[in-house]
Structure 1
Amino acid sequence: MKFAVIVFPGSNCDIDCYKAVEETIGQPVDYVWHTATDLSAYDAILVPGGFSYGDYLRCGAIARFAPVMSEVVKAAEQGKYILGICNGFQILTEAGLLPGALRRNEGLKFRCHSTLLEVVNNGTAFTNQYAPGEIIDIPIAHGEGNYYCDEATLAELKANNGIVFRYKAGANPNGSIEDIAGISNKAGNVVGMMPHPERAISQILGSEDGKRMFTSILNAWREKNGAAVNG
């Protein structure tokens, strides 16, 4: 299975994502520059955190028009696995691959600390190794992670099991609607989340609860392609 880590000017979690793939599942992974126009060689695409294009205009608004994003949209339509983390989540919403928007944190401050999440939907390619309702420890680092959508979009997310993660009750760090920390598209192959699973792959980092996001996608890919699942 081959992974691409998209790199925009201002990305700063690209190395973390690369190392997470390398160290948790040992699959081939490449950095792919934002000017790339062909992602056909890749089975999964990671859109990492950071401050793409300096977060000018608003987070993800310029990155959405990078040449590589046309290929990311195409890959999503083909059913390939797309994970947007933090700024990557913001980019996916700007690109229309996920609904809603990310606004300034409720307290108007950058928040960087460990956060407890509830796994709401373990039926996506990125969450199949978790139990529904499981509480996991995944850190955050964002100033604009306040997820918002209108009532119709929220109802649609609920109807399609599109809420993947919620912040644990009483522990919402940014004011996001209904404590939403991560969502998916209807097909479940595109997931965006504000917390950073790539920063939770070892106890030396404080948690290894993020490892199963990467083993989940390898598991999903192997099942889809009829390969033996060896854990």
Structure 2
Amino acid sequence: MKFGVVVFPGSNCDADCLHAIQTVTGQPVEYIWHKSGSVDGFDCIVLPGGFSYGDYLRCGAVARFSPVMTPVIEFAQKGGLVIGICNGFQVLTEAGLLPGTLHRNKNLQFLCHDTFLRVENNTTPFTCRASLGQVIKVPIAHGEGNYYAGPETIRQLEENKQILFRYCDPHGEITPEANPNGSLNNIAGICNERGNVLGMMPHPERCAESVLGNTDGQLIFQSLLDFWQRRCG
């Protein structure tokens, strides 16, 4: 399985993602420059966190028009695996690969601390190693992570089980106090209807090694590898 990590001007989590993927999966991974016109040869594309193009206009708005996004969109539409983390999630919504948008945090402040997430669907390529309702600890680092979508979109996300992660307390309870940024329905991560595109605000690459004091983020990368190995027989 070959991973590709897109590098936009302003990306600052690309090296972290590449290192975490190498460490956790042992699979080949390469950077993909934002001006690239192809993603051929890759099995999973990662859009990392950071401040692509300085978040001018709004987060992810300029990156959506990078040359690389044309083949990324085509790759996703054909069923290719794509994961957007933090700013990458914002880019995916701007590109129309995921519904909704990310607003400023409810307290209008940048947040950087651990959060607890409850796994809401463990049948996707990104969560197949998890138990339904499992609680994992994953850090956030964002100023615009407040997920919003219209009532009909929220209803569809709920009915289609496209909400993969919700902010919760350490015991798995979904409470307003456990919601760090004001996201509707405590949403921390969603997938598209087909289930091959994930966007999440928390950073699994920052909690994927014991030296960091937390390995819960391994769940996402190991799930992807398990899914790929089953798909390839």
1:200 to 2:189 alignment = no
In the alignment, what sits opposite 1:32? 32
Q: Which residue of 1 aligns with 2:221?
A: 214
8 A contact 1:112–1:141 mirrored in 2: yes
d(CA) in 1 for partners of 2:51, 2:213: 24
Greater Cα shift, 87-96 or 114-123: 114-123
Per-residue CA deviations over 1:59-112 (Å, capped at 9, x if unaligned) read 000000001001111111121110000000000000000000000000000000
Q: Distance in 1 between matches of 2:228 and 2:43?
A: 8
Residue segments in structure 1 that go unaligned for 5+ positions in a row: 227-231
Q: Distance in 2 between matches of 1:26 and 1:172?
A: 34
User: Per the alignment, in what secondary structure is the counterpart of residue 92 of structure 1?
Assistant: helix
Q: Distance in 2 between matches of 1:123 and 1:95?
A: 25
> What residue is the counterpart of 1:45 in the other structure?
45
Counterparts of 1:61-72 in structure 2, within 5 Å, are: 61-72=61-72
* TM-score when normalising by structure 2: 0.96
- The reply to whether residue 181 of structure 1 matches residue 181 of structure 2 is no
Cα distance in 2 for residues equivalent to 1:81 and 1:213: 12
Cα distance in 1 for residues equivalent to 2:193 and 2:232: 21
What are the Cα deviations for residues 10-37 of structure 1, in whole angstroms up to 9, with x where unaligned?
Answer: 0000001000110001100000100011
- The answer as to whether partners of 1:121 and 1:132 remain within 8 angstroms in 2 is yes
Greater mean alpha carbon deviation, residues 200-209 or residues 61-70? 200-209
1:119 aligns with 2:89: no
3-state secondary structure, aligned to 1:67: coil
Matched, 1:223 2:233: no
Instruction: State which of 193, 197, 210 in structure 2 corresponds to 1:190.
Output: 197
Other-structure match for 1:143: 143
Q: Quick check: 1:184–1:192 contact (8 Å CA) kept in 2? A: yes
TM-score (norm 1): 0.96
| Cα drift, residue 206 of structure 1 | 2.7
> Does residue 59 of structure 1 match 2:59?
yes
Tell me how far apart the structure 1 counterparts of residues 156 and 78 of structure 2 sit (CA, whole Å): 22
Report deviation, 1:200: 0.7
CA distance in 2, matches of 1:27, 1:117: 26
Equivalenced residues, count: 226
Post-superposition shift, 1:203?
A: 2.8
- Provide the C-alpha distance between the structure 2 equivalents of 1:147 and 1:42, rounded to a whole number of angstroms: 29
Q: Which amino acid aligns with 1:57?
A: L
Equivalent residue for 1:77? 77
Paired amino acid for 1:223: R
CA distance, structure 2, for counterparts of residue 28 and residue 62 of structure 1: 29
Unaligned runs of 5+ in 2: 169-173
The secondary structure found in structure 1 opposite 2:182 is coil
Contact kept? 1:123, 1:188, Cα under 8 Å: no
Give distance in 1, aligned partners of 2:32 and 2:55.
20
